[in-house]
Chain A
């Protein structure tokens, strides 16, 4: 059980990076970004190929850069070409299927067994396997959260936050809202691709189909985190999202352990969690109205 929990925490920490990316587009920019599935797999593809050539750290950097490019594409489609936000995300994601296959040399999967990864690097330093697989993601999550939290307090970061809050006001303050959106998407997708890049080194394999459904997993983490730690500023938001990602992995692992659902039921459950959470405000309001009606009748 401890091993199971530890594994969930490790994966949760990696997925926390993706959830932070989702948080940036979904909560800060206030635009649903459907690039996620594609950019996650892009991060994997880039990372696996670079790691296989012997550079596991460079692999992560390349994954980040590739993710930023993917996000920029979505941003440009939205702002320069004037395409609907949802559709521009779908377009980039679809195109990325081909790009990812191209990056992986036309193969749908690639193994990293026998190659150095950031995790084996720490094992060689003398850490236990459990530690070597926990510490790197933890350090990276803390670093990324710190960088993002500081960034969103700078002028540029504030412009991105304001763009998600009131775009018209940003424009009339002489700030290029389109640029702010593009930077936001690039930032979000570089976090997501970094998560993809770490997952493939963690699993020691990459699969072009691995990214499908990642958007929902990320959103579920965002929502669980907010349910536990509540809403607040960006720093609190990033922490709660990271906690949410870890909790999500623990919930899933336990559900699988007690045979609550078969492995292929995971995506259904993720979609269910997000669906219920997003419907909550409407349902609550409806229930409140009904009880009010009932009480009024009872009073007579």
Chain B
């Protein structure tokens, strides 16, 4: 079972504002297999289509072409909230992952309710004890502040809780969209450490977008590079182990140039 892909994208294409001068091909035929237990880091310049790829997986929009399969089910046409049943997602903005006017406990209960046993009230003793235990593992002292409104926490604390929330119901896939980029370096390191611990413990297939190329190579087992809505590099195993940051940067400019050359060839053929 280890080798059956948990997530499968087949030639996914998406163009925004088609037929207008603003037309932008955000995804240009993305094909990707994510195996169970994969921890993939994703790099690429701004506008390369990294976040758009996540949006396509989560169903923020429907792709123009191609198909998306999650856990053996074709979810290409499924609405966003139904896909979310098996997907945990974390955004760069710590404010996006939590409801500020609700308590830590209520926020966690909300994230947990898709998999929790049936209960009339939103927060019950059994779940509450479980949340407490999870929070104490963060080592931030939040387990004693479960009745605190989450809007009162710092960005790092909110992001740490969001991380717990996105993994609390054992998703099949975890998507991290530069989730430490808005934090100060010390907090970012702490949140990243918590992330790695959780991913290693739960063995959830994870995709992480990052701008930190060093981290991209150091974390996980596979690295993907995107450019202009395409995956231009997909390395794992020994090839990745022997890669240095400089190698990767050289490869990046080489690969994106090659792509450019291909485009030119296409254009000249059309003429």
Contact = CB atoms under 8 A, between A and B. Distances in A.
Nearest to B100: A165
B153 to A, nearest CB: 14
Contact of A158 (B80, B83, B85, B110): B110
A166 B80 contact: no
A217 to B, nearest CB: 26
Nearest to A175: B81
Nearest to A178: B81
Given A162-B110, A170-B110, A176-B81, A154 B99 contact: no
B119 A155 contact: yes
23 contacts: A153-B121, A153-B123, A154-B120, A154-B121, A155-B113, A155-B121, A157-B122, A158-B106, A158-B122, A161-B101, A165-B99, A166-B95, A169-B96, A169-B110, A170-B110, A172-B80, A172-B89, A173-B84, A173-B110, A174-B81, A174-B85, A175-B81, A175-B113
A165 B81 contact: no
A155 B96 CA distance: 21
A173 B114 contact: yes
Interface string B101-112: 110001101110
A165 B96 CA distance: 10
B58 interface: yes
Contacts of B97: 169, 172
Q: Is the interface of A mostly helix, strand, loop or mixed?
A: helix
Given A155-B119, A155-B122, A172-B58, A165 B84 contact: no
Contacts of B81: 170-171, 174-177
Contacts of A176: 79, 81
Contacts of A170: 81, 99, 110
Contacts of B88: 172
A159 interface: yes
A154 B119 CA distance: 8
A162 B82 contact: no
Contacts of A157: 122
A233 to B, nearest CB: 10
Q: How large is the interface on B (under 10, 10 to 19, 20 to 34, 35 or more residues)?
A: 20 to 34
Nearest to B165: A173
A153 B84 contact: no
Interface in A174-193: 174-177
A173 B98 contact: no
Contacts of A168: 96
Contact of B102 (A161, A172, A177): A161
Interface in A70-99: none
Given A155-B113, A174-B114, A166 B99 contact: yes
Contacts of A173: 84, 110-111, 113-114, 165
Interface of B: 58, 79-85, 87-89, 95-102, 106-107, 109-111, 113-114, 119-123, 165-166, 169
A176 B88 CA distance: 16
Contacts of A166: 95-96, 98-100
A173 B107 CA distance: 10
Residue among A157, A161, A171, A172 with most chain B CB within 10 A: A172
Contacts of A162: 99, 102, 106-107, 110
Interface in A117-149: none
Nearest to A176: B81
B103 to A, nearest CB: 10
Contacts of B99: 161-162, 165-166, 169-170
In this complex, the member of A154, A158, A175 whose beta carbon has the largest number of chain B beta carbons within 10 angstroms is A158
A95 B223 CA distance: 57
A165 B150 CA distance: 11
B59 to A, nearest CB: 9
Given A174-B82, A176-B81, 12 more contacts: A155-B120, A155-B121, A157-B122, A165-B99, A169-B96, A169-B98, A169-B110, A170-B81, A171-B84, A172-B89, A173-B114, A175-B110
Contacts of B119: 155
B253 to A, nearest CB: 35
Interface string A224-255: 00000000000000000000000000000000
Contacts of A165: 99-102
Contacts of B111: 173
Nearest to A231: B101
A157 B113 CA distance: 12
